[in-house]
């Protein structure tokens, strides 16, 4: 009797543990380079290949950032420049979450970078793995560069932001 109880308890505990592991696998965000099918920016789904869809995603995010990020005036006055890396997750419902600083330069530029990504109101088509939507982690660099005053007229279109 004790042996049967032991095997039944062992069976249920191993089943429970495997269910927990399956749940962990489903909630873990995969890096964009590990998913079978990467998340897609709305409008990029018409691209023929995975590579073209990903290029469209990257370019669309860069265009969004270029149009919407504000180079902080205090940072301009203090001549603060650099590349900020922001990481975020594209959820299985297509929304963005977990916006974090991956590598910063200065609090002024770091906060401007986080804000522009947090404010990105886009419903992505989620990444897919084995035919199911998965969470995808994505990191994007945002370059802040100041040019001399003669070139600043050319810079004014993109506010000194390079992606």
Could you state, in order of their start, the residue ranges of all structural domains in the chain?
Answer: 1-28, 32-162
* Chain-centre distance for alpha carbon 83: 16
Q: Mapped to the 3 state alphabet, what secondary structure does 55-77 carry?
A: HHHHHHHHHHHHHHCCCCHHHHH
The pLDDT assigned to 2 comes to 55
Closest CA to 86 of 72, 97, 100, 98: 100
pTM flag (> 0.75):
no
- At which residue do the structure tokens 């000194």 appear? 160
DSSP state of 44: -
Q: Could you tell me the pLDDT band of residue 160, with boundaries at 50, 70 and 90?
A: low
Token pair for 126: 């989620």
Query: Mind listing the pLDDT tens digit for each residue in 16-33?
Result: 444 444 444 457 887 767
Contact 160/147 with Cβ under 8 angstroms? yes
Give the residue, 10 or 136, on which the prediction is more confident: 136
Query: Mind listing the pLDDT tens digit for each residue in 66-78?
Result: 999 999 999 999 9
Q: Is 37 helix (H, G, I), strand (E, B) or coil?
A: strand
- At which residue do the structure tokens 């909630």 appear? 27
DSSP state of 124: P
Which H/E stretch holds residue 140?
strand 136-144
Q: Could you tell me the pLDDT band of residue 161, with boundaries at 50, 70 and 90?
A: low
Considering the domain 32-162 in this protein, what is its CATH number? 3.30.1150
- Rounded (5°) CA angle 50-53-59: 140
């Amino acid at each position: 009797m004790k042996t049967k109880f032991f095997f039944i308890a062992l069976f249920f505990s191993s089943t429970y543990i495997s269910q927990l592991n399956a749940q962990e696998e489903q909630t873990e965000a995969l890096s964009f380079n590990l998913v079978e099918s990467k998340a897609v920016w709305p409008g990029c789904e018409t691209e023929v290949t995975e590579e073209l869809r990903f290029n469209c995603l990257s370019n669309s995010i860069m265009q969004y950032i270029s149009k919407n990020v504000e180079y902080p005036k205090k940072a301009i006055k203090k001549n603060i420049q650099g590349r900020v890396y922001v990481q975020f997750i594209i959820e299985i419902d297509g929304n963005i979450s977990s916006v974090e600083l991956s590598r910063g330069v200065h609090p002024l530029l770091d906060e401007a970078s986080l804000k522009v990504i947090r404010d990105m109101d886009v419903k992505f088509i989620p990444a897919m793995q084995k035919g199911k939507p998965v969470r995808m982690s994505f990191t994007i660099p945002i370059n802040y560069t100041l040019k001399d005053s003669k070139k600043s007229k050319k810079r004014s279109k993109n506010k000194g932001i390079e992606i």
